[in-house]
């Protein structure tokens, strides 16, 4: 699975592949993994859990955009939001 990492030194992003098998998820979930940065040539430690979660959410967002290319009607959002309660 593809995850995006930000170099803390150069503030540039790059993609890496992270493991996704059940065994690897159990092994790496609570660990930081070393990532070779192509921008600063250093090794950064990144939380596997954060990378995996970000990759899942990014993939979900891409699927939603792909399946629903038209933006939602703003009038519908107003109907779905709860009314603001004001106290005097």
Q: Which of 19, 16, 50 is nearest to 32 (CA)?
A: 50
13-17 and 32-36 beta bridge pairing: unpaired
Residue 82: per-residue pLDDT: 52
Instruction: Give pLDDT < 50 ranges for the chain.
Output: 76-81
Distance CA 30, CA 60 (A): 23
CA angle centred on 10, ends 56 and 19, rounded to 5°: 30
Distance CA 51, CA 4 (A): 7
Average pLDDT of every residue of the chain: 78
Residue 62: per-residue pLDDT: 61
């Amino acid at each position: 699975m593809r995850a995006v990492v930000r170099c803390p030194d150069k503030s540039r992003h790059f993609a890496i592949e992270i493991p996704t098998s059940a065994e690897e998820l159990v092994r790496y979930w609570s660990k930081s993994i070393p990532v070779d940065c192509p921008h600063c040539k250093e090794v950064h430690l990144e939380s596997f859990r954060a990378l995996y979660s970000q990759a899942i959410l990014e993939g979900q967002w891409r699927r939603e955009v792909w399946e629903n290319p038209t933006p939602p009607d703003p009038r519908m959002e107003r109907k779905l939001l709860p009314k603001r309660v004001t106290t005097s």
